[in-house]
Structures are given as structure tokens and as C-alpha cells.
């Protein structure tokens, strides 16, 4: 049987790599095998299309392209201009945005570009006016000293980590926590939901320069219209990080008050996760911030990665096709079916369910920490990640939760019936796992006890479940 184009492309690539470093070729092949055989439930992961993957392995990787379209610091970037313009065009059309900046290498980079664009717009402009300078490069050392002093007093209000926020929203381990004086809003202890009245109260007290919405582990929708009203009431710039749910926005599952683009001053996202593209980021904004955003390189970024921008253009073009909306709807249907299956089996879920692509299990109901549950599931062929829950007693390392998501399994074609089976497998493992004992004889937060025979049985069941939903079925490496 003749090989199809996808098989030929990937087999040929591995043959070339094997000729230089066979261990790398072997690792690439092993990764495909591992992904094919395991239930990938990490909410921030997905499977990019062969076209997207292949767009990253080409001669664009060899180009330096600092600057923006038509204004590069290197000659010979006409083809880079083409793919960057295509990626930006697809992003604008897909999300209904006025301006799109597609150079960020990651979601963190996209957030940094947004933060500095906001600061430049809110602080640099007055500094330029005071100095009677026409451009930031014309500022004197004294001007910069005054500017740095002003920057040090800027405030950010974002969702707390244990409520589902992200490190890049002003927390100390990240550079954003050193740029801003940060305060958090949490969720209602009784419901786990965002309390908008409490957010408004905190905003009035704290008077932030930036109000950030968005999450990495909050299983519900956010009303961005209300959040914008809160931002406007205190004169804050409203920023939304939609990295996790961008695919649900692109697929028109989140519309109206739940679509951030019409309500936010500036929106950031990754291009993988639910958007199903390459690892990377982008920024969307209106004309008032566009010039500042386009200075992301060299303000924050190193040279843009033209091969990844090419892959972004391909993935965003795919997301503009009608079947992507069907995919996005199925992601949510699957997440809700998975949540319902877990609830029927007695699992505790943060907020009692989900409106989006992720489910957060409170594994203390099984007598486990998140770290124990994560490893026990991995032993059983189910890939997840531990995550804090609101007011987590086990902290951010051991945690009390497991975050699971449906974007990747939905890409493989699994539906709601398979989600119920998946819920049964998860519950079986967690209910049969117990906490281990540490060297001092006390209950361990890391060690656990799980019958290897049960883990092997569940792993085989997971593999059997996936048999009817092959990953990259047109790619054969053997």
C-alpha cells in the first residue's frame, strides 16, 4: 500500500534526523507512541494538525526578523512578512479584533507585551509630555528615573492562584509580580464562583491600573461585560488572558457577555490549548494600543520565530473552518459529560461542574493529595496534572486537586459516551489508591499505595478505549 503524504513527510523527516542523532529520532517516535496509547486529559494540551506541525519544520527557522511587517532590522524578510501578515489576518477575522500581534513565543510573552503596552500607554505618554520628547528614545536619564519610579507604584488586580488564576497575573514568582503591586480576587467559598460584587468592592478599595480576567483552573464562564464595567468604574485598563478558552471563543461557544474581545481593552492568548495550534502566543487589541503592542520586539521579545508564525497562520486558518465550531461545542459537551460521570460516582468537583473545557476534582474526598492522585493516574495510563483548589490546605506543590480537560480527547473524536467510561476509569483509580507512609511513620503527601495489577488493568482499558479513535491515523512510522 503506498504511503500517503503525511506518512511520507514524517517518516522522511525522522530518517534525516536519525542520520545525525538517532536518539532524538527515537525519542520523537516514542512520544507519538506514548500519546497514542494514553488518555491525555491535561487541560492545557491538545494535538496540532499534521499541517501545523509540518509548518514549523522549514527554512523559516533560519531567519532573523526583528521588527514588524515592512519595518525589519534585517533584510530579506519579505517571506516572513507574508506569513506574519497571514497569521494576523486570520487572528483578526477569527476573533473579530481590530489588531493582532502574532509574534509572542508563549502566553507569558504575550502577557508581558500587554503589560508593557498598558504601562507605556498609561505612564510613558505623560513622561514624554513632561520631557517634551517625541519618542521614548529621546527621554533623558532623569526622565527614565522618574518613569521607573512611577512604574513601581502600579497596581494589578487579578484572580488568586487557588481560585484558578495564573502566575503571570502579578504573582511574585513571575516577573509580573515585580512589575506590579498585586492584589487578588477569589471566589465565593460556598459556590466556588466569582463574586462580582466582591471584585467591584476590592477594585474600589485598591484602585488598580490593570484589572485582569482569565484563568487556568476555573471551570466556569466569566462575564466580561460586568468585569469591564468594574474596570471602567475605577479607571483601570481591562485585560483578558483567554489562553485556556480561546478555542471556545473562536468556535463561538462563548459569545455575548462571555466573549472577551468586544469588552476588553486588550486580550492575550496562547495558540495551542483549545485553539489547537503550535506552542506560541498572540495579542489582540484596538487601535489605541496597537502601536505599543507592535513594539513587543525588542521591548520584551527576542527575535520573532517565523516558522512558528507560519504554523500559527495554518492553525488559525483551520480554526476559521466551519467544523472548528463543531469541535469547540463538543469540547464543552464532553467536559460536562465527564463532570456528570464523576459526580454520579461520588467525586467532589469545584463549583459542582463545568461550563467550559476543564473539570477540577477535589481529591481530598478520596483521602489523597493532588500529587498522589496525579501519579496514580499516570501509572494507569491517564495523564493529568495536580492543581490547587480554593483555600487549598495542601498548598501549591502537593495540592488537593486534579485538573482535567477535554480538548485533546475531543480532537481524537471521543464523545460523551467515552467520557462516562473515562470517568469510571478515573474514579476506579482514585478510589483504590491510598496515602502512603513516610520514613517517620506519618502519612505522606507524596507516597501512595496502588495495586500494580489494577493500574495495569486500567491502563489496558484506557488503551482499548482509544483503539477506535486513532491519533494521526494517516501517519505511519513503522
Q: Whose CA is closest to 254, among 225, 294, 228?
A: 225
- Among candidate residues 84, 109, 162, 241, the one labeled active-site is 241
Query: What's CA 296's distance to the chain center, in Å?
Result: 20
- Active-site position among 37, 45, 66, 188: 66
Q: Helix, strand, coil proportions of the chain in percent (round to 5)?
A: 50, 15, 35
User: Is omega for the bond preceding 298 within 30 degrees of 0, making it cis?
Assistant: yes
Sign of CA dihedral 471, 472, 477, 478: positive
**Which residue is listed with cell 494521526?**
472
Q: What whole-number distance in Å separates Cα of residue 386 and Cα of residue 376? A: 11
Nearest to 65 by CA among 311, 306, 314: 306
Other beta carbons within 10 angstroms of residue 177's beta carbon come to 16
Radius of gyration of the chain (CA): 23
Whether 155 is catalytic: no
Specify whether 273 is catalytic: yes
Rounded CA gap, 274 and 229, in Å? 27
CB 365 within 8 A of CB 389: no
In sequence order, what are the beta bridge partners of 285?
A: 99, 266
Mark whether 270 is an active-site residue.
yes
For residue 221, indicate whether it is catalytic: no
Annotated catalytic residue: which of 270, 271, 384, 411?
270
Q: What is the 3-state secondary structure (H, E, C) of 179-197?
A: HCEEEEECECCCCCCECHH
Q: Considering the candidates 273, 312, 371, 386, report the single residue annotated as catalytic.
A: 273
User: Which DSSP state fits 66?
Assistant: -
Q: Strand pairing of 237-241 and 67-68?
A: unpaired
Cβ atoms 455, 376 nearer than 8 A: yes
Of the candidates 64, 291, 329, 447, the residue annotated as catalytic is 64
| Of 205, 201, 168, 199, residue with least CA distance to 184 | 199
- Nearest-angstrom CA–CA distance, 171 and 38: 33
Helix (H, G, I), strand (E, B) or coil at 159: strand
Going from the C-alpha of 407 to that of each of 48, 68, 128, 395, the distances in angstroms are 11, 32, 46, 27
Active site (annotated) includes residue 66: yes
Provide CB contacts within 8 A for 456, sequence distance 6+: none
Q: Is 64 a catalytic residue?
A: yes
**Grid cell 528615573 — which residue?**
145
Catalytic, out of 11, 18, 221, 279: 279
- Active-site residues, by number, are 64, 66, 241, 270, 273, 279
Amino acid at each position: 500500500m503506498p504511503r500517503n503524504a503525511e506518512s511520507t513527510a514524517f517518516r522522511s523527516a525522522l530518517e534525516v534526523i536519525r542520520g545525525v542523532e538517532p536518539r532524538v529520532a527515537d525519542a520523537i517516535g516514542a512520544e507519538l507512541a506514548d500519546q497514542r496509547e494514553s488518555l491525555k486529559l491535561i487541560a492545557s494540551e491538545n494535538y496540532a494538525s499534521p499541517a501545523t506541525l509540518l509548518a514549523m519544520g522549514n527554512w523559516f527557522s533560519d531567519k532573523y526578523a526583528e521588527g514588524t511587517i515592512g519595518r525589519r532590522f534585517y533584510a530579506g524578510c519579505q517571506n516572513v512578512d507574508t506569513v506574519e501578515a497571514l497569521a494576523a489576518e486570520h487572528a483578526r477575522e477569527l476573533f473579530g479584533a481590530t489588531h493582532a500581534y502574532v509574534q509572542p513565543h508563549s502566553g507569558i510573552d504575550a502577557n508581558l507585551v500587554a503589560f508593557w503596552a498598558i504601562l507605556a500607554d498609561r505612564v510613558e505618554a505623560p513622561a514624554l509630555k513632561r520631557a517634551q520628547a517625541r519618542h521614548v528614545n529621546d527621554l533623558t536619564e532623569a526622565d527614565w528615573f522618574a518613569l521607573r519610579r512611577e512604574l513601581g507604584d502600579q497596581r494589578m488586580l487579578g484572580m488568586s492562584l487557588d481560585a484558578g488564576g495564573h502566575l503571570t497575573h502579578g504573582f511574585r514568582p513571575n516577573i509580573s509580580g515585580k512589575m506590579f503591586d498585586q492584589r487578588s480576587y477569589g471566589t465565593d467559598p460556598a459556590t466556588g464562583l466569582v463574586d462580582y460584587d466582591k471584585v467591584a468592592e476590592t477594585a474600589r478599595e485598591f484602585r488598580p491600573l490593570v484589572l485582569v480576567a482569565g484563568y487556568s483552573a476555573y471551570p466556569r464562564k466569566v462575564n466580561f461585560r460586568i468585569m469591564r464595567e468594574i474596570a471602567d468604574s475605577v479607571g483601570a485598563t481591562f485585560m483578558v488572558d483567554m489562553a485556556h478558552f480561546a478555542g471556545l471563543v473562536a468556535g463561538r461557544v462563548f459569545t455575548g457577555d462571555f466573549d472577551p474581545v468586544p469588552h476588553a481593552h486588550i486580550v492575550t492568548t496562547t495558540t495551542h490549548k483549545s485553539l489547537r495550534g503550535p506552542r506560541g502566543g498572540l495579542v489582540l487589541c484596538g487601535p489605541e494600543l496597537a502601536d505599543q503592542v507592535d513594539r513587543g520586539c525588542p521591548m520584551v521579545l527576542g527575535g520573532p520565530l517565523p516558522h512558528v508564525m507560519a504554523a500559527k497562520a495554518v492553525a488559525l486558518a483551520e480554526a476559521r473552518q466551519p467544523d472548528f465550531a463543531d469541535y469547540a461545542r463538543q469540547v464543552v459537551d464532553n467536559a460536562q459529560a465527564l463532570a456528570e460521570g464523576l459526580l454520579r460516582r461520588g467525586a467532589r468537583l469545584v463549583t459542582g461542574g463545568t461550563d467550559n473545557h476543564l473539570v477540577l476534582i477535589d481529591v481530598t474526598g478520596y483521602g489523597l493529595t493532588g500529587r498522589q492522585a496525579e501519579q496514580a493516574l499516570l501509572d494507569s495510563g491517564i495523564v493529568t496534572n495536580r492543581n490547587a483548589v480554593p483555600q487549598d490546605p495542601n498548598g501549591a506543590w502537593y495540592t488537593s486537586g486534579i485538573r482535567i480537560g477535554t480538548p485533546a480527547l475531543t480532537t481524537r473524536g471521543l464523545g460523551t459516551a467515552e467520557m462516562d467510561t473515562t470517568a469510571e476509569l478515573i474514579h476506579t483509580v482514585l478510589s483504590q489508591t491510598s496515602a502512603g507512609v513516610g520514613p517517620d511513620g506519618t502519612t505522606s503527601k507524596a507516597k501512595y499505595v496502588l495495586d500494580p495489577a489494577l493500574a495495569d488493568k486500567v491502563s489496558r482499558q484506557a488503551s482499548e478505549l482509544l483503539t477506535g479513535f486513532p491519533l494521526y491515523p494517516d501517519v505511519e512510522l513503522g
